[in-house]
Structure 1
Amino acid sequence: MTIDDEPTRVCRVVINDEDQYSVWAADRDIPAGWRAEGFTGPRADCLAHIDKVWTDMRPRSIRNLTDA
């Protein structure tokens, strides 16, 4: 895979236990501590999805402390 292939590479949105999002190549195993969020597509679409759904960048543990 080269940088030229990046726009067409299928990616997936992953999320960890702290509700932090990332983009991961769909053809690679998801790393420990992360799980598929359910959205797949080109990297740009995944990033746009994350931008729409990740409205509070604070980790869950911090939100739980400050919002309690």
Structure 2
Amino acid sequence: MENPFESPDGEYHALVNDEGQYSLWPTFVAVPDGWRIALDSKSREECITFINDTWTDMRPKSLVAAMDGS
């Protein structure tokens, strides 16, 4: 059985949570609580490119705020 997160021919969403963390997600699986769609129904490669271009700081937003003293 093929892993649905690794199918090169699958359709995916790029998800984001309130901490600014991103995830690749197959479109046929319900979006989990606490996550929202940042990029809708694209190829795996398009979603990975979007995530790599967008998520440049891997730290959660709450950690960034704590480190900045906010």
**TM-score bracket relative to the smaller structure:** 0.7 to 0.9
> What's the C-alpha RMSD, in Å, of the aligned pairs?
1.8
Structure richer in helix, relative to its length? 1
Deviations, residues 4-50 of structure 1 (Å, cap 9, x unaligned) = x8111000000011100000001111011111113431112211111
CA distance in 2, matches of 1:64, 1:45: 30
CA contact (8 A) 2:39 2:47 kept: no
**Long gaps (5+) in structure 2:** none
> C-alpha distance in 2, partners of 1:39/1:53?
15
**Can you give the 5+ residue segments of structure 1 that lack an aligned partner in the other structure?**
none
TM superposition score normalised by structure 1: 0.84
Structure 2 length as normaliser, TM-score? Answer: 0.82
* Percent identical residues: 36
